[in-house]
Amino acid sequence: MYREGSFYHTGKWKRRKSCKLRFSSESLWEPSYLKAKCKELGLEEEYLRYQIRLMISYLRVFFVLNIIVTALHCFVIIVFTNYKHSLIVDIPFFLVPSAAILLCLSINFFEQFVLRHRWVMTASSIAATIISVSADIGKCAYHYNWTLNNTFDTYNLCMIYMFLPITSLVLAVSLGSLVSLAYILYFLYCMAYMRFYSGDKEFGLATVDVFHYLCFNMLGMFFRMMNDALVRSSFLDRHQFMMEELWLRNARRQESMLLNSILPPQIAKSLQKSIKERIIETDNGLMFQRSRVHFSSLMAIQIHPDVSILYADVVNYTHLTTTLTVEKLVQVLHDLYARFDMAASMYKVQRIKFLGDCYYCVAGLSEPDPDHAICAVSLGIAMIANIQEVRKKRELNIDMRIGVHSGNLFAGVIGVAKLQLDIWGFK
C-alpha cells in the first residue's frame, strides 16, 4: 500500500517501476541475437578488433602461466628425479618447446600487423599447438612411458580453448578435436605395442579415456560460446555508453551555446550549476519547493560598469498596427529584428529583449570591452542600413528611432520556471 507523499508516490518510484526486469525478454541476449545486433549496427568489424585486443591480453596471461608451469616442472624434475643422467634429456624437453611456443606466439603482440594480417593469429596458434603436443608425446615415447597421464594433454586443451588467439569457434573446436585424436591414437598405439610384446590382453583397456576428451572439448566449446556472448554483450553496452556520452556531451555543448546566447557567461555558468543541483535534488526525492528556494537564492544582481545600451523603436508603430494585418506586421518585425540580431552578433552586442516595437541591447555586458560605445554606435549605423533594406523590400514607410547611452547598470536573471535576463538602474 502507498501513502500520499511517501517514497512510493514520487517520480523516482515510477521510474523504478517502469524499469522492472522482464525475464521473458532475456532470450534477446542470446549469442545469435547479439551477433545479429552487431551486424545491424554495423559493428562487426569493430567487434573483431575489440576481440583481438582481448585475446592479446589473454595471451599475456598465458605467457606468465606457461613460464611458471615450465619452471615448476623443471624444479620438480631436478629435485625428485633419481636418475641424474636423464636430466640432460628431460630439461630440454620442457625448456626448448616452451621457448619455441612463446617465440611463435609473440608475433601476436604486434597489434597493427595482426589487425592487417589476421591469418597470423591462426597460423601461430596452430604452430604452437603442434610444438606442444609433439614435445609431450615425444618425451613419453623417448622414455617408453606407454601410460600417458592426463596432465599435459589437459594443459594443451586448456591452452587452445582459453588462451590461444583463435577468433573462430569452429577452428578452436577443430584444433582441440585433432589434439584429442592425436592423444587417443598414441594411446591405441601404446596398447597395441604392449599387447604384442607383453602378451597382457588386459593392459590399457581403461587407459584410452575417450569420454575425457569428448567432455573436455564440449566444455571448451561451451566456454568459447559463453565468452563470446559475454564479450559481445559488454561490447554493445560499451558502445551504447559511448554513444550516450557523445550525445550528452553534444547536448551540454548546445545547452551552453543556448544559455550563452541568452545570458552573460558569468550568469550562465552559475545557472548551469544550479540546474545540475536541482536535477540531483529531484532525483534524490527532495521537495520541489526546497530546490526552488535554493535555485532562486543563486540569482543575484550583478553590477556591470562601462557598458553602452542601445534602444531602437519603430516610428508611428500605432499607425502600422492599424494599416497592416497582424500576420504582415509580425513578418515585418521578424525580418527587421532578425537582421538586427545578426548585426548585433557581428559587433559583439547582446540583445536583451523585445518590448513590442522596441529593440534594446547592451555592448560590453557579456565580456568587458573598452570599445563598447564604438560597438553600439556601429550597430546603430548597421540598423539604419537594415531599415532602409526592409523599407525598400516591403514598400513600407517605416522608420526607427535609435538612441545610445553609456554608463553603469545592474543586470540579473528574474523568474524560476521561465528565466529572463533584464537590466535595471542604468546610470
3-state secondary structure at position 400: strand
pLDDT digits (tens, 9 = 90+) for 130-172: 999 988 888 877 766 545 555 688 889 999 999 999 988 899 9
pLDDT value for 63: 93
pLDDT value for 427: 57
pLDDT value for 130: 93
Element (DSSP H or E) covering residue 354: strand 349-355
Q: Angle 134-138-140 (CA atoms, 0-180°, nearest 5)?
A: 125
| Domain boundaries along the sequence of the chain | 26-239, 243-295, 301-424
Q: Minimal CA–CA distance to 173: which of 218, 128, 211?
A: 218
Write down the pTM of the prediction. 0.58
Give the Cβ contact number of residue 14 at 10 Å: 11
- Rounded to whole angstroms, how far apart are CA atoms 121 and 210? 29
Phi-psi region of 285 (alpha: psi -120 to 50; beta: other; left: phi over 0): left
Residues (pLDDT < 70) of the chain are: 1-29, 81-87, 143-151, 196-208, 260-267, 275, 278-300, 416-417, 425-427
pLDDT value for 289: 46
- Rounded to whole angstroms, how far apart are CA atoms 314 and 319? 10
Which CATH superfamily, name and number, covers 301-424?
A: Nucleotide cyclase, GGDEF domain (3.30.70.1230)
pLDDT value for 32: 76
pLDDT value for 399: 86
Residue 151 in grid coordinates: 596432465
Pairing type for strands 302-314 and 358-363 reads: antiparallel
Q: Minimal CA–CA distance to 101: which of 59, 145, 73?
A: 59
